[in-house]
């Protein structure tokens, strides 16, 4: 069962908000999706527990307790969260803060940034303390290095590959296997990936597996089980591939409950 939540699409600044940084939290009890919508404020999505995703056009990011995504005001996006996730949403008044980026970017949620953002949820915080905390939060809010996202191809030719691998984490088939299934050459498939995503099939698979591994680690799955599910020979080979693709270690994304 997937619950659908429909939200409106607001232009940047369409609604005045009574805060500089507002903090909101929701526990998701069933798998939930949010169709395309946008906010009048800048938004930072990050999780207290579990994993979720956000998509802007063909680009998708995985959100965990240590990796969030900054969305500029007015940016149309879609979201998904698995059951049991606790999703945090920090909203920023566009007239009150300078945006850290004018496009969606990943943000590492450091322990200090987490404490600062959570402190702003206290309704009893006096104005002076709130202003100091808001300034400190903005000072510690920076785009993460690298893209840490995946481009989902839209070409009809590639849909059997995309849907099969995205819907169910699994070892990647080789280009020749897909060539036989789709009735086109491996070079044609690779060129289609390159034209649409800027990378070939193998690089795209590596990015997809990194996103899937990040999500599974965040929800507490065993690393050896993840390696086996994705077709890696060992936990260490999975970890090495993940670090090459993202610049982070998988243990970084372990959800400490």
Residue reference for tokens 């691998």: 165
Q: pLDDT-based confidence at 220, cuts 50/70/90?
A: confident
Surface-to-core class of residue 24, CB atoms within 10 Å of its CB (0-12 exposed, 13-18 middle, 19+ buried): exposed
Residues 67-109: pLDDT tens digits?
Answer: 999 999 999 999 999 999 999 999 999 999 999 999 999 999 9
Write down the pLDDT at residue 253.
79
Angle at 80 between CA 252 and CA 257, to 5 degrees: 35
From CA 28, how far away is CA 51, in angstroms rounded? 11
Strands 32-37 and 3-4: parallel
Classify 232 in phi/psi space as left (phi over 0), alpha (psi -120 to 50) or beta.
Answer: beta
Does pLDDT of 256 surpass 80? no
How much is the pTM?
Answer: 0.90
């Amino acid at each position: 069962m997937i619950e659908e939540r429909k939200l409106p699409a607001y232009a940047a600044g369409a609604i005045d908000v009574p805060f500089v940084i507002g903090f909101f939290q929701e526990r998701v009890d069933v798998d939930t999706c949010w169709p395309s919508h946008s906010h009048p404020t800048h938004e930072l999505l990050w999780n207290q527990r579990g994993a979720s995703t956000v998509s802007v056009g063909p680009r998708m990011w995985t959100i965990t307790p240590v990796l969030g995504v900054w969305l500029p005001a007015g940016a149309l996006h879609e979201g998904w969260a698995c059951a049991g996730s606790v999703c945090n949403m920090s909203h920023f008044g566009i007239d009150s803060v300078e945006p850290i980026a004018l496009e969606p970017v990943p943000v590492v949620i450091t322990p200090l940034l987490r404490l600062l953002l959570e402190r702003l949820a206290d309704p009893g915080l006096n104005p002076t303390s709130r202003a100091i905390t808001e300034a400190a939060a903005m000072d510690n809010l920076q785009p993460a290095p690298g893209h840490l996202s995946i481009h989902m191809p839209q070409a009809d030719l590639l849909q059997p590959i995309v849907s099969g691998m995205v819907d169910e984490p699994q070892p990647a088939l080789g280009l020749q296997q897909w060539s036989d299934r789709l009735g086109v050459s491996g070079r044609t498939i690779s060129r289609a990936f390159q034209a649409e995503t800027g990378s070939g099939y193998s690089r795209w698979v590596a990015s997809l597996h990194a996103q899937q591994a990040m999500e599974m680690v965040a929800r507490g799955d065993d690393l050896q089980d993840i390696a086996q599910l994705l077709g890696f020979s060992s936990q260490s080979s999975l970890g090495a591939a993940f670090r090459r693709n993202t610049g982070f270690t998988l243990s970084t994304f372990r959800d400490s409950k």
